Amino acid sequence: MIEARRLHILRAVADHRTVTAAAAALYLTPSAVSQQLTALEQETGHRLVERGAKGVRLTPAGEILLSHTNAVLAQLERAEAELAAYSSGAAGTVTVASFATGIALVVAPAVARLASTSPGIRIRVQDAEGDASLPMVLDRQVDIAVAVEYRGAPPADDPRLTHVPLYAEPFDAVVPVTHRLADADEVPLAELAKDAWIGPYPGNPCHDVVVLACENAGFQPRLEHSSDDFRAVVALASADAGVALVPRSALRGMDLAGVVVRPVDGVAPTRRVFAAIRRGAEEHPLIRPVLEALGEAAGE
């Protein structure tokens, strides 16, 4: 008989590609993870992982088991949801991980809404970028991730996750008031090819949006200054340190005295924001009201 707990460990090893990283994500010791993998191999009668200098990879047998693992764990999530609904599930804690602007734009309004509509649900919020929050959902560290689509992100049809679209917003060009394009109604990105750029660090989903937009305009941005804080990005632009692309909602309430904000000429780069949960948890009586509140906040 295969233990579901060991299937979860197998998926964590496949996701993180090293026993050490999987152990850290699962709050286990590496030796405990190795022991559970060995036990799983004994239960199945197959070698499931191969260890090498660059980490761990699944064997063909391991890949077969992983494909069933995603379905089994999703079904267990559904079972938990139905059992929670059976016992009413009217009270409990839901943990939501989101990037900072997403917290301000949809998570905080959802928390306020739930306080009156579902007072038994307590929300715990963690600040995390999308590339960090999605693994947190898979590793059961949080229940919901509010994340941004980015290159390398799990696709919408990933068997491990369910995606719930929330909103999409354009990036605007931010240039110093002294910039040659400050008086333009719209800013063609190609005209900024020789400028110094300010933007998020690699790994931040917004970094991918900026770089891809510039590549589509025919150039690689010369990123001279890096910050994941858009207030810092705008402050540097106001100091004439470079130009930037910033999500429109991130500019709300900022001091824009030293910069000019203009829409991008043509097809504007866009960040698409979604909520992600472990597949099968959609109807959990604690999760469902939170997803609905996030969707209502995004639609306002």
- Continuous segment of H or E residues that includes residue 75: helix 60-86
Q: CATH 3.30.2180.10: does it fit domain 2-82?
A: no
CA-wise closest residue to 57 among 12, 23, 8, 14: 14
CA distance 186 to 246: 15
Look up residue 222 and give its two tokens. 């010369």
Domain boundaries, the chain: 2-82, 89-165+270-297, 167-269
CA distance 122 to 80: 19
Buried b (16+ CB within 10 A) or exposed e, 108-141: ebbbebbeeebeebebebeebbbbbbbbbbbbeb
- Residues 161 and 286 sit within 8 Å (Cβ to Cβ): no
Homologous superfamily of the 167-269 domain (CATH): Periplasmic binding protein-like II (3.40.190.10)
For the domain made up of 89-165+270-297, the CATH class stated in words is alpha beta
The two domains 2-82 and 167-269 share their CATH topology (first three levels equal): no
pLDDT in tens, the chain (300 residues): 778 888 888 888 888 888 888 888 888 888 888 888 888 888 888 888 888 777 888 889 888 888 888 888 888 888 877 777 666 666 788 999 999 889 999 999 999 999 999 888 889 999 998 778 999 999 899 999 999 887 777 888 888 999 999 999 999 999 999 999 999 999 999 999 999 999 999 888 889 889 999 999 999 999 999 999 999 999 999 999 999 999 998 998 898 999 999 999 988 899 899 999 999 888 888 899 999 999 999 987
